[in-house]
Amino acid sequence: MTVFRTLRNSAVALGATAALTFAGAGTALAEPPGIPTPTEAETQLESLTVAPDGSLDGYDRDEFPHWSSHEDNCNTRELVLERDGDDVETGTDCYPTSGSWYSGFDGETVSDPSDIDIDHVVPLANAWRTDASEWTTDEREAYANDLESPQLIAVTAASNRSKGDSDPSEWQPIDSYHCTYASMWVGVKHKYELTVNEAEKASLKDMLSTC
C-alpha cells in the first residue's frame, strides 16, 4: 500500500526533526495530528467496510514492532510523551524528568510519566482482527509507530489498561471525550483501510452525534 511507503519515509524525516517539532508542544488537552473533523469522520465511517472481526490466531504484540528509535536518543513513546505533555523537560536519554499530562480518556492529570501509557487508539489486536494480519512486519511497524495520524496518544495507565483491546462498542472514554475519540478511531481505520463490525459502527455513530 502507498500509505505504508509514505509512513516509512516520513518516519525518517520526523526522527531528524523530532526535538524541534515536539519541544514544548504540549497542551492542556493534547490532540494528536490528523484528527478528521466530525463531518469528515462521519463520511469516512460510511466508507469503511463492515465485516465481522477476524480471528486472533497468530497474533502477538511483537508482530507490531513498536517504540522505534529516532534521533536524539528518542523512541516513539518518548516523543509522544513530550508532544502530549505540558512543560515537559527531558534528560539526555530523552525520558521526561518533569512535566504533566492530561488524559482525555478519564479526565485525570498526572505528573509522573510512569503513570502514563501511550495508547494505540485502534489497538494492535483490533487491527490484527480487522485486516492487519495480512500486512508485512514493516507495515505493522509503521502502524504501531505512526506519529502523523491520531493513532498514538498519552493517557493514564489505568484508563489504557481498562480499555485493553476493546472497540467502541465495548469501551468508551468519559462523555466529554466521545466526539474526539470517535473521530480519532474512524480516522485511523479509514487511513489503514481496516474493517469495522456492526456494533462498533453503531457505537461510533452514537459518539459522533455528540460532536
Whether 20 shows a pLDDT value over 50: the answer reads no
**What does the pLDDT average to over 48-76?**
95
- What amino acid occupies position 25? A
Cα distance between residue 117 and residue 193, in whole Å: 26
pLDDT band at 28 (very low <50, low <70, confident <90, very high): low
Measured N-to-C along each axis, helices 76-84 and 2-22 cross at an angle, to the nearest 10 degrees, of: 50
> From CA 76, how far away is CA 143, in angstroms rounded?
12
State residue 133's pLDDT score: 98
C-alpha span between 203 and 23 (Å, rounded): 36
C-alpha cell at position 188: 485511523
Q: How many domains does the chain have?
A: 1
Contact 49, 195 (CB under 8 A): yes
Q: How far is CA 125 from the centre of its chain?
A: 13
Rg (CA), the chain: 16
Query: Which residue, 175, 186, 196, is CA-closest to 151?
Result: 186
145-190 residue pLDDT tens: 999 999 999 999 999 999 999 999 999 999 999 999 999 999 999 9
- Sequence-ordered alpha helix ranges (H) in the chain: 2-22, 38-47, 76-84, 124-129, 137-144, 157-163, 178-191, 198-208
Q: For 35-56, how does the pLDDT look when each residue is reduced to its tens digit (9 = 90+)?
A: 999 999 999 999 999 999 999 9
Half-sphere exposure of 84 (CA within 13 A, CB side): 31
Query: 121 with 150: CB under 8 angstroms?
Result: yes
pLDDT of res. 15: 34
Residue bearing the bigger pLDDT, 4 or 78 = 78
Mean pLDDT of the chain: 88
Q: Do residues 204 and 185 touch, judged by C-beta distance below 8 A?
A: yes
Residue range 76-96: mean pLDDT, rounded: 95
- Going by pLDDT thresholds of 50, 70 and 90, the confidence category of residue 22 is very low
Read out DSSP for 146-176? -SSSTTEEEEEHHHHHHHTT--TTT----GG
pLDDT band at 71 (very low <50, low <70, confident <90, very high): confident
User: What pLDDT, on the 0 to 100 scale, is given for residue 131?
Assistant: 97
Residue 63, domain extent: 2-208
Rounded to two decimals, what is the model's pTM? 0.86
Coil/strand/helix, residue 24: coil
Q: Is the pLDDT of residue 8 over 90?
A: no
Q: What is the pLDDT of residue 126?
A: 98
Query: 21 falls in which pLDDT band (50, 70, 90)?
Result: very low
